[in-house]
Structures are given as structure tokens and as C-alpha cells.
Amino acid sequence: MKDISCTVLVVGAGPGGYVAAIRAGQLGLDTVIVEAKKPGGTCLNVGCIPSKALIHAADEFLKVREMAEGRRTPGIRLESPSFDLGACRDWKDGIVNRLTNGVAGLLKKARVKTVEGWATFRDGKTVEVTTATGPQVIRAEHVIIATGSEPVTLPSLPFGGRVISSTEALALTTPPERLVVVGAGYIGLELGTAFRKLGSDVTVVEATDRILPLYDADLTRPVANRLSDLGIAVHLGAKARGMAGGEALLVETADGSETRFPADAVLVTVGRRPLTEGWGREELALDMDGRFIAIDEHCRTSMRGVYAVGDVTGEPMLAHRAMAQGEMVAEIIAGEKRAWDKVSVPAVCFTDPEIVTAGLSPDQARGAGFEIKTGQFPFQANGRAMTTESEEGFVRIVARADNHLVLGLQAVGVGVSELSSSFSLALEMGCRLEDVAATIHAHPTLSEAIPEAALRTLGHALHI
Amino acid sequence: MAEHVIKLPDVGEGVAEAEVVEWNVKVGDIVQEDAVLASVMTDKAAVEIPSPVAGTVSWLGAEVGETLAVGSPLVKIETAGDAPVPSDEGLPAEPDAPAPAPSKPEPASAPKPKRSPASGAQPQTGMPRREGEKPTASPAVRKRAREAGIDLRQVRGSGPAGRITHEDLEAFIEAGPLASAGTALRADTSVNDVKVVGLRRKIAEKMALSKSRIAHITYVDEVDVTALEDLRAQLNRQKQESQPKLTLLPFLMRAMVKAIAEQPAMNAHYDDEAGVIHQHGGVHIGIAAQTPNGLVVPVVKHAEARDIWNCGSEMNRLAEVAKAGTASRDDLSGSTITITSLGAMGGLVTTPVINHPEVAIVGVNKIQVRPVWDGSQFVPRKMMNLSSSFDHRVIDGWDAAVFVQRIKSLLEAPAMIFI
């Protein structure tokens, strides 16, 4: 095949890569993107989107089941609802297809050439792509590495058989009767909760002493309560030792004893690791930052003309961070002056209830040397929360004590993921408590808890 | 109700007009009889205009800085009926004029210094951030700064919690590269407008007149005042209670009187329009003096008729009234020659400006101990420079030099002053 020469080459078409390519194309740069699978990366294909579809379906099914049992919204009566995971999966795959096709369309519209296949670097300017029709060499002036991440495997629990990753879990056609989740991070809890709601018997095994170790206890308490209400057994301080006879998970529990957890499926969600191997990194002289590719505030690697974006560059491994990086890098290559100067990268756990964080938590703020003021407003005092039968949770705000600059906003509660937009905006705009407090938030919405939290921090909340 | 019109009175001999330099009242103020209404400035002295009646100020005849002719209306005051004697709280408060204490009228519209920033926006407002603190700015501001090549850490924020606004960024850009020297140093592009009125305007006019009409020549020589200082110290030690403490100036005045006797051309007014030099018999020595309001020149009249002690006491009196601002018009006019001295601030050399229409001015510089070669060795001597300017139109350089040399010889051998 004839070699391709281009200005910008993007390796990996996940959120970081495809956004970089679209923006580069928009800016008139001759751009090629290489992807072995479908565009959209982990996020669209086997991550954010399909998991949210499954969670939604599970929530809906639980709702109607509870209605049928007379445990929910008074006045609604239902007869024996049923659930077909296979049909649900088809619906979910339809959404994924629409989105990935959408990305392909956007790339095309931006005049980006897509090459399907596995790229391997020969040097900092050249990759060889193994395509269905043979090897394709691509040379570029600028290269953007956006290879993403993959689930971490436990040596004692190699994937295969009943041991599955989130990718396989999302592809199941029937809920496993007994599901054991190894790792109580957000992916494990999101999927474990969903399968519980779909009828699985779910056990969570976590090696540390708490669920969602990256979030503080105030935020995770409602989630822990809900797990318990749903009947999910959570074993903290418990280490997965491997499969016993292929049908049960052998676990060393907190008291040191060994317990067998019979399982039809063992979902291992112990984190994700950057994909830094298998694409010829050894041919490049890239400085590393631990397991990640080291980058500067312009997403430049240690090699001239080689950039990296997304999960391969570090925490937080979140799609929106990758997208912002990708957009920025394309503009930098086009000659614009850009640098990473974001105040916050918000994060959402689609657990039940949801957790959203932006900026610094009280402990993080104190750790950073700030004198702080903080306050929270419970959804129990919010009208909208009452009418949606979801009063658990709160909004919390953290601000500097001296000038009231907002340093962080967090919330836990049903549907709070949508509050993340005003959290991020407040931080990015440099709001003070007074700004947040003085902004009219529509009634009746959950968002009213945001100015109330600010008012409470200032000492004069109105509705509590 | 009757309206009383107060006209600008005749504030001094031969004064036809005066400038209003300060209003002590404003329209609506209640004034008592004899309360000061305004200060006006003639070409020499400031005069306070008292109110002849009690009542309410209803009209002011001029803005601060305006010049009025003698006899033109200055203030209108409405008096109640037959002008009753107002008691402190006897007057009904005017509805829209809260009565100020009549005995202490509010200082009225003094020329308001107006701050007019060069660009309409104050650059570099807001508090400086602490070292190492991250600047707060919206994404749009950050992007603009990046594109303009500006490090936001250098920009101060005037917004809430020190947030950098678009305006802050614009002001920073306008202030130019100087402003980027750091958070502590910044360019100040503001302009402070100060209205030139009163004494300052008089000084400005006089200086401009002197410099534009007179061809100055300045002659500097040094004077060994060691003997004079010894004599002065001795006289001060032995002086009687009633006698003033002598400074160097009375000696200089007496030396000038002696020198002028030989060169009367130095003690003159040159009327360049009429083409006449008026050589005066009386030596009226103006002493340029710094006061809180600016430069004034009180005059020691008839120095030729005063001895050292008398010169000293008259000088002290004039210095006091000049500093207090109570010098009369007469105290401040009529000089025929002038001395200027900045005392300890006298420096090495000055180029004095002649007090028009005079023809000479003697400037005194600071006394310093300097090494002087006495023919075989260096000896410490108290040395003082005299920087004197002359109107070169009517005084030749030679004559100027002779005049200064004469003064110098008198001061170096002070006994000669008394012969």
C-alpha cells in the first residue's frame, strides 16, 4: 500500500483522539486517525455509554418491580413486570452504534481520514498500521498518542471463564444468578448495583476498608446505605485469592479466614491502567510519569512533535478530560496559544445515588493549605427531591475562608450528575460563595440546594 | 426677607481686581455676621472677606480661580426681615439645606483635584496576590491572556475574590510592558489634575514674566565665611535679651547696602516699556521665603537705615507673618533687590530668577567646610557660594562681577561691614 503523509496523525479514536482529530480537521490540518476497533473508544463502546444504558434500564425495571410490589409511588399499580436483558442489550447496542457512527460522521465532516487497524510506531513520525488489507505506513509531522486504558487484571484472577471484565459484563444477555464483584470502585458498584436491580444476587469484595476509596465518607455513606437496602453484601478488607474449582471465588476476609463465594460470574473491576504497550512505545524515547506517559501543560511528551492525551497521560481517567486535552492539542498544533489551565475536572459516579465532585473536597482543600468554610444542604429540605421520592443526599460547597472563593462543590443524591455543570461553571468562573448564593436557581429543582449550601456556609440558609 | 449683595471690597491700595481662591460657604449655608465668606488673592496677599450680615447664602458670584473686579457682586445673602440676631439653634433648618454650624462654615468647593486616568480604566487595580497563589480568571479571560502572551500571574484582579476581569486584562495590556515587571511594581498611568489658582498662579505668572522679559546672567563665586561665622557666633553669645538671634542674612543685607552705595544701578526697577531705570535711594530687600502655600517675598524696607540687629528683628517678624499667612500687602511689596536662600537646602549653585522689575537677585548657597589651600597647606574653612543673577539688559557682566566681589570682600572681612 502507498504510504500516507499527513500533518497530524492521531493514534486511537476514543474521546481524546477523535476530538483532537475533529478539531485538527476543523482547523484545516491534514489529519489521519487510526483505530483498530470502532471509533469512540472505551467510553462509547464498552464504558460510559453502554453502562449508563444498562443502569437506566435497571433503574426503570426496579421501579416497576417496586410499583408492582406496591412499594413505590402511591397510586400506580402494575402486574408482574419482566425483563429481557437480551432485548435491552440490543437497545443499548443501538445507542452505541448511533454514537459511534455519529463520531465517524463527524470525523468525515471535518475531512479526517480514518484508517482502521492496529498502529505500531516505527519512530516518532512514522507508524505502521496493520489493516485488513495489509500494512499501511503513515508519516506525520505531528503525532497524538491517544491509546487510552484497559481494565487491570489480577494475576490470581485472569479474565476467562466466569471471570469477566466490565466489557463482558455489558455484553451479557442474561443477568448472572450470582455475581461477585471484585473491587468497590465506581465501575464495580455501578455495574453491581445494576445487576442487583435486574435480579442478580450480588456480592462485592473490596480489598481496602471502604467503598469508593477516592471519595470521602460523607459522600459515600448514602451509597453504602443503598447497597445495603438493595441487599448487596459488601465485604471490605477482603482479598480475592482466585477461583476455587472454577465455580466459586476464594476470598481472604478481613478476619483472615478464607471464604468461598459461589459465583456464576466474577466481575473484576480493580481499576484501569494506561495502554502503554503493544503499539511500539519502545521505539520512542518517551519519558514516563509512573505508568503514564509524561506530558507538560501543552500535552507535549518528551519527544518533539509527539503529543499524548487521555487516559494514557494520567488521572483522572475520564472522557471529558481527554476531550478537553484533544481539543487543546489540535489548536496548539494549528499554532494557537493554549495551555492546560482548567480549574476542575468534574467526576461523576453513576452509583445509586449518584455522586458528583468538582474541585477540592474539604479535606483536599485543607491539605492544600487553605483555611476553608464549608457547608451542605440536604435534599430532605428540597421540594423537588421529595416529589421524586429521593430525599437522600446533599450538596456541599467548599470555599476559602478569607475571600469566599469557591474551591469545590460536591453532591450525592439521585440525579445529581446533572448538577455537575453548574459546579464546574462556578469553579471555572472563579465564583465566590456570594455569587453562588445570589444566583436564582429555578424552583422546584434539585439545583436549589446549591445556593442554599452557599447560604448555609455564609450562615443564613433560608430553607433549613 | 431681604437680599443683601456683598461686593468685592477694595482689598488693597491700587488693587483693581482679585482672584477668588477659596469659598468658605456654599449656596444654602446659613452664615452669621463676620463669618468668613471667601478668600481672595491680590497680586501679593490673600484677603478674607467677612460677611457684614447674618442670613442664608443664595448666590455666589464666582468660581474658585475666577478673577473679579473690585466692586463687582461677590455673594448674595438673604436676610430674614430686619436681620434678627440668630442664636445657635434659633434658625429653622432649611428643608434642603442642613444647617452647618454657622461659626464653622464648611470649606466650600475648593478646587477639586480630578483624577483622570489616561485610559479611562485604572490599570492594575485590586490587591496583589500572595506569592505563588494561582490567579482566578474565567476561561475566556485566560484564553485572551494566553493569546496576548500575558502571564496572568502578573495581572491583578479587581473582581470578587481577586478575580481577573476582562477590564483588568485590558488595563494591563494598555499599561504596556512596564506593568509586567512583577506584582509589586506597576506602571501608574493616572494623571492628577491640580488647578493652578491663587498664590501658585501668581508665582507662575511672575516667574514667566521674569524669565520671558529679563536676560539673566548668573555669576557664582565662593565666599570664605569663617571669620563672619565666628563674629556671628560671638554676637549671638553676647546679645541682649531684646535682640534677635542673628542669622547670616542681616550681615549679607548690610554688605549689600554697602555695595549698592557704590553701584546704585543694582538697586533699581527697570521699566522696559517706558525705557526707564528707576534707581532707588532706599534699599528695600525682598527675602524669598518658602511658606506652606508657596513662595512669598516679604520686604525689609530701608535696609540702609537699619543696623544689623534691626535687620534681623524685621526679618524675623516678616518670616513669621509670611509663614502664618497674615503678611499684609505692604509687607509683601515694594522690594528693590532680592535675596534668595534655601538655608540647609541651599546646595552648591543656583540660578536665581530675578524678581521683576528688579535687576538683581543674590542667592545664598549652603555653608560647608571645605579644604582651602592657604599657600602652604590645606586648611578647613567655612565656605559658602553666592549665586547671583542680574538683568543683563541693563547690567554688564563686569559690573555684576564687581558687585559680587565687593559683597564677597565685605563678608570675608566682616569688620568692614561696620565701618
Closest residue on chain A to B148 (Cα): A337
Q: Would you state the pLDDT for residue B133?
A: 82
- Is A91 in contact with A1 (CB distance < 8 Å)? no
Residues of chain B with pLDDT under 50: 83-123, 179-182
Contact in structure between B141 and B96 (CB atoms under 8 Å)? no
Give the minimum alpha-carbon distance from A432 to chain B in angstroms, rounded to a whole number.
Answer: 7
- Residue A243 near residue A259, CB atoms below 8 Å: no
Confidence of residue A232 (pLDDT cuts 50, 70, 90): very high
Lowest mean pLDDT across A76-80, A122-126, B322-326, B361-365:
B322-326
Residues 6+ positions from A161 with CB-CB distance below 8 Å = A243, A246
Q: How far apart are CA A209 and CA B174, in angstroms?
A: 57
Subunit contact B146:A429, Cβ cutoff 8 A: no
* Interchain CB distance below 8 Å, B161 and A429: no
Distance from the B101 Cα atom to the nearest Cα atom in chain A, whole angstroms:
43
A376-407 tens-digit pLDDT: 999 999 999 999 989 999 999 999 999 999 99
Q: Which of B152, B116, B149 is nearest to B136 (CA)?
A: B152
Among A115-119, A441-445, B13-17, the least confident range: B13-17
Q: Compare all CA atoms of chain A with the CA of B160 and give the residue at the minimum distance.
A: A432
Buried b (16+ CB within 10 A) or exposed e, B190-215: eeeeeeebbbbbbbeebeeebeeebe
Contacts of B143 in chain A (CB under 8 A): 338
Instruction: Give the active site residue among A235, A443, A460, A463.
Output: A443
Q: How far apart are CA A179 and CA B32, in angstroms?
A: 99
Interface size between A and B, measured as CB pairs under 8 A: 35
Which of A195, A210, A211 is closest to A263 using CA atoms?
Answer: A195
Q: What is the pLDDT of residue B125?
A: 57
DSSP 8-class letter at A390 = -
The verdict on pTM exceeding 0.80 is no
B365 with B386: CB under 8 angstroms?
yes
Q: pLDDT tens digits for B255-311?
A: 999 999 999 999 999 999 999 999 999 999 999 888 877 888 999 999 999 999 999
Q: How far is A427 from chain B (nearest CA, A)?
A: 9
Selecting from B138, B139, B160 the residue whose C-beta is nearest the C-beta of A432 gives B160
Q: For residue A78, give Cα distances in angstroms to A83, A195, A196, B13, B331.
A: 14, 22, 20, 113, 112
Q: Which residue in chain A is spatially nearest to B144 when comparing CA positions?
A: A337
- Taking 90 as the threshold, does the pLDDT of residue A459 lie above it? yes
| Chain B hits for A434, Cβ within 8 Å | 160
B163, B164, B165, B169: which to substitute to probe chain A, counting the most A Cβ within 10 Å? B163
Q: How far apart are CA B82 and CA B1, in angstroms?
A: 8
- Known catalytic membership, residue A443: yes
Query: B138 to chain A: which residues are within 8 Å by CB?
Result: 428-430
Residue B82 confidence (pLDDT): 53
Shortest distance between the Cα of A193 and any Cα of chain B, in A, equals 37
Contacts B147 to A, Cβ<8 Å: 336-337
Strands (E), A194-304: 201-205, 233-235, 239-244, 248-252, 258-262, 265-268, 272-274, 288-289, 292-293
3-state secondary structure chain B: CEEEEEECCCCCCCCCEEEEEEECCCCCCEECCCCEEEEEECCCCEEEEECCCCEEEEEECCCCCCEEECCCEEEEEEECCCCCCCCCCCCCCECCECCCCCCCCCCCCCCCCEECCCCCCCCCCCCCCCCCCCCCECHHHHHHHHHCCCCHHHCCCCCHHHCECHHHHHHHHHHCHHHHHCCCCCCCCCCEECCCCHHHHHHHHHHHHHHHHCCEEEEEEEEECHHHHHHHHHHHHHCCCCCCCCCHHHHHHHHHHHHHHHCHHHCEEEECCCCEEEECCCCCEEEEEEECCEEECCEECCHHHCCHHHHHHHHHHHHHHHHHCCCCCCCCCCCCEEEEECHHHCCCCCCCCCCCCECEEEEEEEEEEEEEECCCCEEEEEEEEEEEEEECCCCCHHHHHHHHHHHHHHHHCHHHHHC
Across the interface, whether the CB atoms of A339 and B146 are under 8 A apart is answered yes
pLDDT score of A287: 95
What confidence score (pLDDT) does residue B363 get? 94
* Cβ distance of B138 and A428 shorter than 8 Å: yes
Comparison of pLDDT for B71 and A57, the residue scoring more? A57
Query: Which DSSP symbol is given to A160?
Result: B
CB contact under 8 A, A337 and B159: no
Query: Is this complex scored with an ipTM above 0.85?
Result: no
Q: Under an 8 A CB cutoff, do B138 and A341 touch?
A: no
Cα B341 to Cα B352: distance, rounded to the nearest angstrom: 10
Sheet with B2-7, side-by-side order of all strands:
B2-7, B73-79, B55-60, B30-31
Subunit contact A339:B137, Cβ cutoff 8 A:
no
Q: Are B152 and B145 in contact (CB under 8 A)?
A: yes
Judged by CB atoms closer than 8 Å, whether chains meet at B162 and A403 is answered as: yes
CA–CA separation, B163 and B137 (whole Å): 5
Q: Quick one: CA dihedral A220, A225, A228, A230, positive or negative?
A: negative
Interface test with B, best of A343, A400, A406, A427 (most B CBs within 10 A): A343
Closest CA in chain A for residue B129: A403
Mutation for testing the B interface, residue in A337, A398, A424, A433 having most B CBs under 10 Å? A337
Distance from CA of B127 to the nearest CA of A (A): 12
When scoring A403, A407, A434, A458 by the number of chain B Cβ atoms within 10 A, the one with the most, hence best to mutate, is A403
Residue of B nearest to A426 (CA): B138
Region A108-133 average pLDDT: 96
